[in-house]
Amino acid sequence: MRVLPLMLFLTALTINAQIAFKNFGDIQMHDGAEIGFHTDLINDGQFDNNQGFTGFYSDNEIRVVSGTNRAIFNNVEIDAVNNLQLETSLGIINELEYVNGKVITPRNTISVSLDFIRHDFYVGEDDERHTDGYASVIGNNEFIFPIGDDDRFRPMITPNQNTDIYLKGAYFYEDPNSPSTFANAFTTDEKQVFLKNISTHEFWDLDGSNQTSVTLTWDTFSSIENISPVLNFLRIVGWSKSEQKWIDLGNTNVSGDLNNGQLTSNEFIPDEYEIITIGSIFSNVEQGSDNYLISPNDDDVNDALVFEGLELFNKNKLTVFNRWGNVVFEATNYKNNWEAVSNGRATIKANNKLPVGTYFYTLEFGNGTTNNSRKGWVYINY
């Protein structure tokens, strides 16, 4: 491996007044080394085994990182008033400080990103200083993606993991019905029947093959009151690649108010969804007499599936099916006491509570009534 002395590198920049530093060999920064790029970086060689400190600086020009190979640095400082633009990915092993400017990545080339590799922490992020485009992470710790769109910092948070996983994400202050860098529109009218509203102001792209939950944030520009004025009805939703519609990804925790807050999903596999955003479900009053929402979490609110007046029909029969048509619960002379526990033969773990999701039911009243049955869906959420 050829190691360039640091002083030789700096002298070459000064004497020759290069407009860019181009590496087409092998360079390594050792522990204690410091390097400052006051010019663009073109990396066509090996520049990925570095220690020490690296800074990117500019008072006027857009500072650009390009080349065929990703450069990886240890501790990094970004002080580029008119932004650091990545045309190839840039890796950071340890710490990052946003001093001035944003890190811009091309949103139509998601292979280019700011990559946090075995990261420690970053500081300085806000509306004026963040990654405008894609950022990725490899690790098992909670990670707050320092992402935004233009002058809006809108983090996305993934929790501690059981093992190291790879995740990549970006934020878009755009209507998903007409996205700028995706081939297809994500029509907000195409959604599960119990979903009421889908945000038309913003969405996130989260990519990864491992199961995880995610926390999304909102601010005054998110118009949360138009999605749902009741925070408990908010849901993280994802555009399913297989079903080509919006799917409820859950609400395990919500905090804040209509102006600022955050919402956490159930676990899901990001690669199964094109994008994610914030939506809402119908309340019991809104969803109609044939469709129901239950939350059997022992809080004495909507714990069981209840049909008003059913006590008058003691020959009734209730059957509940999953989305594949398998019976998950069946009862004669039903007593309004089902709390999502399965007794169906097709259920893998009988007598356990069913997963979050939509189920369909038929209720036969018996007793010789004229209108002797009812059909609809019941949505289970904890």
What is the DSSP code string of 227-273? H-SSGGGEEEEEEETTT-SEEE---SEEEE-SSSEEEE---B-GGGE
Task: Give the pLDDT band (50/70/90) at residue 195.
Answer: confident
**The pLDDT of residue 146 is above 90:** yes
Residue 94, pLDDT score: 94
Task: Give the pLDDT band (50/70/90) at residue 23.
Answer: very high
On whether the CB atoms of residues 353 and 341 are closer than 8 A, the answer is: yes
Residue 258, pLDDT score: 96
The residue-averaged pLDDT of 102-130 equals 94
Query: What span, in angstroms and rounded, lies between the C-alpha atoms of 216 and 220?
Result: 14
pLDDT digits (tens, 9 = 90+) for 353-370: 899 888 889 898 886 554
Residue 15, pLDDT score: 34
Task: Give the pLDDT band (50/70/90) at residue 282.
Answer: confident
- Quick one: what percent of the chain has pLDDT higher than 90? 71
Range with lowest mean pLDDT among 72-81, 129-138, 325-334: 325-334
Task: Give the pLDDT band (50/70/90) at residue 338.
Answer: very high
The residue-averaged pLDDT of 153-159 equals 96
Residue 176, pLDDT score: 98
∠ CA 119-267-351, nearest 5°, is 145
Residue 169, pLDDT score: 98
Task: Give the pLDDT band (50/70/90) at residue 346.
Answer: low
Residue 245, pLDDT score: 92
Instruction: Please report, as a single letter, which amino acid is at residue 232.
Output: N
Full-model pTM: 0.78
Residue 356, pLDDT score: 87
Residue 371, pLDDT score: 57
Residue 9, pLDDT score: 41
Range with lowest mean pLDDT among 74-88, 121-135, 280-294, 323-337: 280-294
The residue-averaged pLDDT of 81-86 equals 97
Residue 286, pLDDT score: 59
Residue 121, pLDDT score: 83
Would you mind telling me the total number of residues written for the chain in this entry?
382
> Which of residues 130 and 191 earns the better pLDDT score?
130
DSSP H helices in the chain: 6-16, 224-227, 284-287
Mean pLDDT is highest, among 80-89, 273-282, 307-316, 322-331, for: 80-89
Task: Give the pLDDT band (50/70/90) at residue 19.
Answer: confident
**The pLDDT of residue 31 is above 60:** yes
**The pLDDT of residue 119 is above 80:** no
On whether the CB atoms of residues 275 and 186 are closer than 8 A, the answer is: yes
Query: What span, in angstroms and rounded, lies between the C-alpha atoms of 345 and 27?
Result: 64
